[in-house]
A and B are shown apart, each in its own frame.
Chain A
Amino acid sequence: MKKITMTRRIVQVFCLILLVYGGYIFKEWKQSPETEQSLFPALKAPAGSISITKLEKGSILWPSGATPVIENYPPSLVCRFNPKGGMFKACILHFFSENLTWQTQLKYLLPYITLFILLCFLLGRMWCGWVCPIGTTGDFLTFLRRKMNIPVKRFPHNFRINLSFTGYGLMAIALTISTIIGMPNFARYQCYWFLPYCQICPARLICPLFGLIRPNWKDFSTSITTTFTLLAWIVLGLFIAAFYFGRRVWCHMCPVGLINSWFNKGAGVELHKKPIKCIKCGYCADACPMGLTKMYEMDKDGIYNQNSCIMCLRCVEVCPRKGCLSVKFFGKGIRIKDFFRRKNAE
């Protein structure tokens, strides 16, 4: 295995452990009285609204996790439904859904949003490729498939583009429902429609498993919960299939990833291409887990950060020509490739 991929795997596993179990380590620190005042105070549900911790036991959303150590929303799919040692609060979509329902004032949200945007601009979608615990889980499924010698399924370009529209559609529906149930007239629906995307998100079913906690995987009490249960199963099936047969096909429609992707083009991590060095061998396009081909097609000097790129840097790694593809951080070469390359190889 090459060095960049190896580093990436180590970072992924480290982040998975940190985000999922990190809370156990930092709990002591949190409980000491001096640090009780955290940087951002927790957002509280207003009186009369449903909060996830107030839900009745047995509800489909019943959390298996306790209060998180750090009340924040990093740009990766850290989940509300992690085991008890979850490090961060939740993902950004959870944040928007929850606060739209609670109708929190903007001034309370601003610090969270500012930090989120800052993190996004710093690393772009590198959060998806290097940090996201669900992405790591999916990569493990891909690894299993490879070991079982099952060929990868390569999806056509249009299909992948349409997947992102599906993701935007789901996001729009989820946010609309969250806004509607926040209105006083519709408040009685909150117990069913609270956090609508979370109810079908595969992370809700997968993340509790890390703490060996049984996720609340079925609820047939009412017609609405039955629908959500079935939808969640279908989405989980699609998730597993997408990661198992394709590579990172799922990431085309993950709403959190889509929000990150808006910042990808101006992100601090930049992918450069020098076409004069390119021999059009297609290695970069073939290795891209998202199935992107722009790096291969372009024949002008420049930065080619694409919205769908998860910055796994696999293209930079496999490129056989030194200096053709390179990674830069705010215009400064980090020369990852030279740093890691086998000595004297080129």
Chain B
Amino acid sequence: MQNKFLDRYGRAVLKGFTSTRSIKSNANSELLEYSSRSKNSLMKKFYQDIEDFETGKFLYPEKPVVGYFCSLVPEELILACNLHPVRLCCEENLWTQAGEEIIPGDVCPVVKSICGKFYNQMYDRFDLVVVPGSCDPKTKLAELLSPLKEVYFLDPGRDCDYLKNADIWGEKYTKFFDFLKERFHCSSGRKHLLSACKKTNARTEIFRKIYQFRTRNPEAINSFDYYIMIYASFFMDIEIWNNLAENVYREALETREICKNPKILLAGTPVIFPNFKIIDVIEQAGLSLAADIQCTTFGRFYNPVEIDEDTESGIIRALSLKDIAGSICPCLLNLEKLVNLIVDAVSQHNLDGVIYYNLRLCQVFDIQTAVIRQALKEKDIPFISIKTDLGNQDTGQLKTRLEAFREMIESRRN
């Protein structure tokens, strides 16, 4: 007689959970609001695509779709196997509430909302989900999702020292690549990897242009448009995105608006659609978000893949350097790197202050706050840390704090 707790392979059965709530995302109304503020006519396509993605109407290319989290998962390997990579990071309050049923308690809201989305059949189209072991909630997420989807767990380790770990990363990425090739029956090699890297390098180039342009003129592509473009890159086909972003950049080049607001740098937790509360508050407080150091934007796009050895293992090694060694994820050992990056960006782009955004319950970001505050105090750079959750209750209070911050910056100027 078959044991009801075991499956036919003798493994314990993880049944998973079913959510009882029916969720209706209010992403559409938010999209409308943001797109009305856009100064760029070409942004419409991005807004349209995001609306389709949020409502499940998005047309994926005719190939298997692989979902992944974090910048630590090498997108190029997925692309090289002729698969469609989709980054699934999600910060929506409604889905967090749905996820609350599955994982109640003081857990990272990002993981909650991801769980909420998965258990409400939002991601049925996906063939595989790649979860990196970057932080503790993500590690457990791999187990929570495994009853629903096939999950590949990719653990790069927490030490991003090149000398000690470069070989280990290469091995781990190679195993992942081998798994992909076997799972999807493709025989990808050096050529496919090279062409995938070419695509992402083109994206890096465009991103750098936009990033650099925004540090001079943050109003021409406003921060909503910027983050919408970033979010669209999560799921759009990379070449289409490159074309559109290039056009948006060209159009923005023609506008000649001079930014009078104090320019600030946003560091900390990634800002992902539709959680644009922090950007909204920054804008309302009369500050301009001119640069950012976050894993969805800077950390993901800024470094190109530098292929030195164009053999298969050489390319995979180059990818691991880009994704892990160059990573700014707070879960890895890189606090010094982050402080250097912030100080350098502030001095290079003549920024007026730094806002450190901290999503409640993400402890790794929280722990870093004190060190960054101390380092920036020594350099005499205005700094404010903001800790908030996905809800909208504290908007007024945040606005008051940021207005005070702006006044402080302006008084320093005079």
B340 and A146 contacting across the interface, CB-CB below 8 Å = no
Bound-state CA distance A84–B130 (Å) is: 63
User: Smallest CB–CB gap between B254 and chain A, Å?
Assistant: 15
The yes or no answer to B205 lying at the interface (CB within 8 A) is yes
The yes or no answer to A346 lying at the interface (CB within 8 A) is yes
Bound-state CA distance A283–B302 (Å) is: 14
The yes or no answer to A320 lying at the interface (CB within 8 A) is yes
Say whether, besides A286-B321, A314-B308, A279 and B162 are in contact (CB < 8 Å).
Answer: no
Bound-state CA distance A3–B166 (Å) is: 26
- Name the residue of chain B whose CB is nearest to the CB of A342: B205
- Name the residue of chain B whose CB is nearest to the CB of A346: B208
Q: Which of B40-48, B312-320, B402-410 contacts A (4 or more CB under 8 A)?
A: B312-320
- Which residue in B166, B208, B311 is a CB contact (below 8 Å) of A149? B311
The yes or no answer to B322 lying at the interface (CB within 8 A) is yes
Residues of A within 8 A of B190 (CB): 149
Say whether, besides A282-B321, A286-B321, A318 and B205 are in contact (CB < 8 Å).
Answer: no
Residues of B within 8 A of A345 (CB): 205, 208-209
User: Smallest CB–CB gap between B44 and chain A, Å?
Assistant: 25
User: Smallest CB–CB gap between B55 and chain A, Å?
Assistant: 36
Bound-state CA distance A346–B205 (Å) is: 8
The yes or no answer to A223 lying at the interface (CB within 8 A) is no
Bound-state CA distance A320–B337 (Å) is: 14
Bound-state CA distance A297–B311 (Å) is: 26
Residues of B within 8 A of A279 (CB): 303, 326, 328, 337, 340-341
The yes or no answer to A269 lying at the interface (CB within 8 A) is no
The yes or no answer to A281 lying at the interface (CB within 8 A) is yes
Residues of A within 8 A of B322 (CB): 281
User: Smallest CB–CB gap between B66 and chain A, Å?
Assistant: 25
User: Smallest CB–CB gap between A345 and chain B, Å?
Assistant: 6
Chain A 115-148 interface 0/1 with B at a Cβ cutoff of 8 Å (1 = within):
0000000000000000000000000000001100
A281 and B340 contacting across the interface, CB-CB below 8 Å = no
- Which residue in A145, A276, A287 is a CB contact (below 8 Å) of B308? A287
The yes or no answer to A285 lying at the interface (CB within 8 A) is yes
Interface size on A, residues (CB 8 A): 28
- Which residue in A275, A276, A320 is a CB contact (below 8 Å) of B326? A320
Say whether, besides A146-B311, A320-B302, A280 and B334 are in contact (CB < 8 Å).
Answer: yes
- Which residue in B161, B314, B343 is a CB contact (below 8 Å) of A276? B343
Residues of B within 8 A of A188 (CB): none
The yes or no answer to A151 lying at the interface (CB within 8 A) is yes
Interface size on B, residues (CB 8 A): 35
A287 and B306 contacting across the interface, CB-CB below 8 Å = yes
A151 and B311 contacting across the interface, CB-CB below 8 Å = yes
- Name the residue of chain A whose CB is nearest to the CB of B333: A280
Chain A positions 292-320 with a Cβ under 8 Å from a chain B Cβ: 293, 296-297, 314, 318, 320
- Name the residue of chain B whose CB is nearest to the CB of A5: B308
Bound-state CA distance A59–B209 (Å) is: 64
Chain A positions 238-292 with a Cβ under 8 Å from a chain B Cβ: 275-283, 285-287
Bound-state CA distance A318–B208 (Å) is: 16
The yes or no answer to B239 lying at the interface (CB within 8 A) is no
Residues of A within 8 A of B306 (CB): 283, 287, 318, 320
- Name the residue of chain A whose CB is nearest to the CB of B313: A151
Residues of B within 8 A of A285 (CB): 162-163
Bound-state CA distance A144–B79 (Å) is: 27
Residues of A within 8 A of B189 (CB): 149
The yes or no answer to B309 lying at the interface (CB within 8 A) is yes
- Which residue in A149, A283, A286 is a CB contact (below 8 Å) of B312? A149
A282 and B205 contacting across the interface, CB-CB below 8 Å = no
A286 and B340 contacting across the interface, CB-CB below 8 Å = no
The yes or no answer to B281 lying at the interface (CB within 8 A) is no
The yes or no answer to A152 lying at the interface (CB within 8 A) is yes
The yes or no answer to A344 lying at the interface (CB within 8 A) is yes
The yes or no answer to B274 lying at the interface (CB within 8 A) is no
Chain A 310-333 interface 0/1 with B at a Cβ cutoff of 8 Å (1 = within):
000010001010000000000000
- Name the residue of chain B whose CB is nearest to the CB of A157: B163
Bound-state CA distance A149–B315 (Å) is: 11
Bound-state CA distance A286–B305 (Å) is: 12
Bound-state CA distance A289–B328 (Å) is: 27
The yes or no answer to B344 lying at the interface (CB within 8 A) is yes
- Name the residue of chain B whose CB is nearest to the CB of A151: B313
Chain B positions 165-184 with a Cβ under 8 Å from a chain A Cβ: 166
B209 and A275 contacting across the interface, CB-CB below 8 Å = no
The yes or no answer to A150 lying at the interface (CB within 8 A) is yes
- Name the residue of chain A whose CB is nearest to the CB of B162: A282
Chain B 274-317 interface 0/1 with A at a Cβ cutoff of 8 Å (1 = within):
00000000000000000000000000001110101111111001
- Name the residue of chain A whose CB is nearest to the CB of B161: A280
Bound-state CA distance A276–B348 (Å) is: 11
The yes or no answer to B212 lying at the interface (CB within 8 A) is yes
A296 and B309 contacting across the interface, CB-CB below 8 Å = no
B334 and A320 contacting across the interface, CB-CB below 8 Å = no
Say whether, besides A151-B311, A318-B308, A296 and B205 are in contact (CB < 8 Å).
Answer: no
User: Smallest CB–CB gap between A96 and chain B, Å?
Assistant: 36
Residues of A within 8 A of B312 (CB): 149, 151
- Which residue in A145, A283, A296 is a CB contact (below 8 Å) of B163? A296
Say whether, besides A149-B311, A282-B325, A296 and B341 are in contact (CB < 8 Å).
Answer: no
A278 and B340 contacting across the interface, CB-CB below 8 Å = yes
Residues of A within 8 A of B271 (CB): none
The yes or no answer to B160 lying at the interface (CB within 8 A) is yes
Bound-state CA distance A297–B189 (Å) is: 33
User: Smallest CB–CB gap between B130 and chain A, Å?
Assistant: 22
Chain A positions 21-80 with a Cβ under 8 Å from a chain B Cβ: none
User: Smallest CB–CB gap between A259 and chain B, Å?
Assistant: 28
User: Smallest CB–CB gap between B168 and chain A, Å?
Assistant: 13
User: Smallest CB–CB gap between B324 and chain A, Å?
Assistant: 9
- Name the residue of chain B whose CB is nearest to the CB of A145: B311
| Pairs A-B, 3 closest by C-beta atoms | A282-B162, A281-B326, A151-B313
18 A/B residue pairs, CB under 8 Å, sorted by A: A146-B311, A151-B311, A152-B311, A152-B314, A276-B344, A279-B340, A280-B161, A281-B162, A281-B326, A282-B326, A283-B326, A285-B163, A286-B318, A293-B163, A297-B163, A318-B306, A318-B308, A345-B205
Q: Which B residues are closer than 8 A to A by beta carbons?
A: 160-163, 166, 189-190, 205, 208-209, 212, 302-304, 306, 308-314, 317-318, 321-322, 325-326, 328, 334, 337, 340-341, 343-344
Q: 6 other contacts beyond A149-B311, A277-B340, A344-B212, with CB at 8 A cut-off?
A: A146-B310, A280-B160, A283-B303, A286-B162, A320-B303, A320-B326
